[in-house]
């Protein structure tokens, strides 16, 4: 059975697949489950979103009687917000289409129970990473002891270290507690900050909630502690909340950092500088390739906000991504013709994700030489590899991390691409892999079976080699 995207290894610069015995395998395809790309993993796009965007791209479809009336109405509204009534026009402002920004502000108010949100504080972008890059460029300054530093979790999103390097911002890692389901520890934040001072100038703390790739969901108490920490240490709070709509852990709920902040004492709610990020890569859209997202700026100096908007003007956001963002934050409402089908498709995604997470976690924890913390949200599992000492030594001789070597061998043996934990940052002698679990159930079962087959062959081969050496 095949699962996920099938590609020619030559396109990726991958050599022909070779197994552990050095034999060339007949397979010429690669299944990539290392990223959170829902459609690449085999999940179909949402019908309402595709229909609206199709009409926006080809307005003649308004005359198609097979399309629901609310699809046509939404497309007409979105087109009227574009210059010239066309998605091919330049945007009116660099911050985003005003109608889209208004919809985002309304979404935030609904999500947070009426907490104030103004479109003037929101900037649309080509994804959450682009927004973050813009902010980091603004913060970046100094060298050596004066270089800007940002506290980041370990593990963190695998794109974050490269982003910090690109913007010349120093990483200040704080370790998440694996034994507590990858929770944030306040004492660890203080340790990381103390260790960084004198090495750089920490100016912000980056939080991923729900955690990427850990799937951890922070509770209110933890969030309040982090907000107080940021306030006391005069750090800007950067809150990445892309997986906010994918919480499935028992008795867990997503709370935005903005909601928690605004429900605290005014000495925090009116002073803590915060920027939150969201994007259409979420499971309630899953259209990351269309490049759409937003950031909301809270308690920032008006001059700073204006400067960020000026910086944004040098790179206009993609119109189609903005329209997709509007569809995500303003889905069909009860009574709309598309509401029933939309809710059925969203429910299917959430049920698939929840069931896959439980099944995959149980499977990996039964696998010899592997353990996995239960995820509460998000589209990844982040299991730990308990590798043989000989393999760890082999990796050191080759000058690579052992989990990267493991992933290379898995790719060569099974044509299966997992993300090595070293991309996400990890403690020394701690090895993990990143696995996307939002895929059709049959496809995920195939992936798990291939992981198990390779993993057990690897352990058995090491045991035989060890016995041979000892005898």
Verdict on whether the full-model pTM lies above 0.85: yes
Strand blocks (E) in 72-165: 122-125, 148-154
Taking 3-state DSSP, the helix, strand and coil percentages for the chain, each rounded to the nearest 5, stand at: 45, 15, 40
Average pLDDT, the chain: 88
* Best CATH choice for the domain 6-32+350-470 from the list 3.40.30.10, 3.20.20.60, 3.40.190.10, 3.90.1150.10: 3.90.1150.10
Instruction: Identify whether the C-beta of residue 455 lies closer than 8 Å to the C-beta of residue 367.
Output: yes
Dihedral angle, C-alpha 186, 187, 189, 195, nearest 10 °: 170
DSSP character at residue 200: B
Question: Are 56 and 75 contacting, i.e. CB atoms less than 8 angstroms apart?
Answer: yes
The pLDDT score that the predictor gives to residue 465 is: 63
Instruction: Tokens 């907490």: give the residue.
Output: 115
Task: Tell me the pLDDT tens digit for each residue of 303-331.
Answer: 998 888 888 766 667 889 999 999 999 99
Which one, of 274, 282, 264, lies nearest residue 210 by Cα? 282
* Average pLDDT estimate for 203-217: 96
Helix axes of 47-57 and 69-80: crossing angle, nearest 10 degrees: 50
Domain ranges of the chain: 6-32+350-470, 78-329
- Percent of the chain whose predicted confidence (pLDDT) is above 90: 69
To 10 degrees, what angle do helices 402-414 and 441-470 make?
110
Cα distance between residue 18 and residue 226, in whole Å: 47
Q: Tell me the average pLDDT across 416-432.
A: 88
Closest-CA residue to 206 (of 136, 152, 156): 152
**pLDDT reported for residue 466:** 62
Whether 300 contacts 276, CB under 8 Å: no
**How many Å apart are CA 338 and CA 334, to the nearest integer?**
9
CATH label, 78-329, candidates 3.90.980.10, 1.10.3450.40, 2.60.40.10, 3.40.640.10: 3.40.640.10
């Amino acid at each position: 059975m095949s699962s996920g995207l099938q590609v020619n290894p030559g396109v990726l610069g991958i050599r022909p697949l070779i197994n552990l015995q050095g034999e060339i395998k007949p397979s010429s395809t690669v299944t990539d489950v290392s990223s959170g790309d829902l459609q690449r993993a085999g999940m179909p796009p949402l019908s309402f979103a595709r229909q609206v965007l199709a009409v926006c791209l080809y307005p003649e479809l308004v005359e198609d009687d097979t399309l629901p009336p609310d699809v046509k109405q939404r497309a007409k509204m979105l087109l009227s917000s574009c210059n010239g009534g066309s998605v091919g026009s330049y945007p009116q402002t660099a911050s985003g289409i005003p109608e889209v920004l208004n919809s985002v502000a309304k979404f935030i108010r609904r999500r947070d129970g009426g907490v104030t949100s103004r479109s003037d504080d929101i900037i649309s972008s080509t994804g959450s990473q682009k927004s973050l890059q813009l902010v980091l460029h603004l913060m970046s300054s100094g060298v050596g002891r004066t270089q800007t530093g940002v506290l980041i979790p370990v593990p963190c999103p695998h794109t974050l270290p490269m982003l910090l390097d690109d913007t010349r911002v120093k990483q200040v890692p704080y370790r998440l507690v694996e034994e507590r389901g990858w929770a944030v520890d306040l004492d660890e934040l203080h340790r990381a900050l103390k260790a960084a001072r004198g090495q750089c100038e920490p100016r912000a703390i980056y939080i991923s909630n729900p955690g990427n790739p850990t799937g951890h969901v922070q509770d209110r108490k933890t969030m309040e502690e982090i907000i107080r920490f940021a306030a006391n240490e005069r750090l800007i709070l950067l809150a990445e909340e892309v997986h906010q709509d994918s919480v499935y852990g028992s008795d867990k709920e997503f709370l935005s950092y903005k909601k928690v902040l605004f429900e605290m004492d005014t000495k925090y709610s009116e002073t803590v500088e915060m920027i939150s990020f969201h994007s259409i890569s979420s499971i309630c859209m899953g259209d990351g390739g269309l490049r759409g997202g937003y950031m909301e700026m809270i308690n920032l100096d008006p001059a700073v906000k204006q400067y960020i908007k000026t910086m944004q003007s040098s790179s206009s956001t993609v119109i189609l991504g903005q329209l997709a963002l509007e569809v995500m934050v303003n889905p069909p409402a009860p009574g709309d013709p598309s509401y029933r089908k939309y809710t059925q498709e969203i429910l299917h995604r959430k049920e698939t994700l929840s069931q896959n997470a439980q099944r995959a976690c149980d499977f990996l924890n039964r696998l010899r030489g592997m353990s996995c913390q239960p995820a509460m949200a998000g589209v990844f599992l982040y299991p730990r590899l308990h590798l043989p000492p000989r393999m760890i030594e082999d990796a050191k001789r080759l000058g690579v991390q052992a989990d990267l070597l493991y992933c290379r061998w898995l790719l060569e043996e099974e044509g299966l691409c997992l993300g090595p934990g070293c991309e996400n940052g990890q403690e020394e002698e701690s090895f993990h892999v990143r696995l996307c679990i939002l895929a059709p159930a049959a496809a995920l079962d195939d992936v798990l079976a291939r992981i198990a087959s390779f993993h057990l062959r690897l352990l058995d081969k090491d045991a035989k080699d060890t016995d041979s050496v000892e005898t």
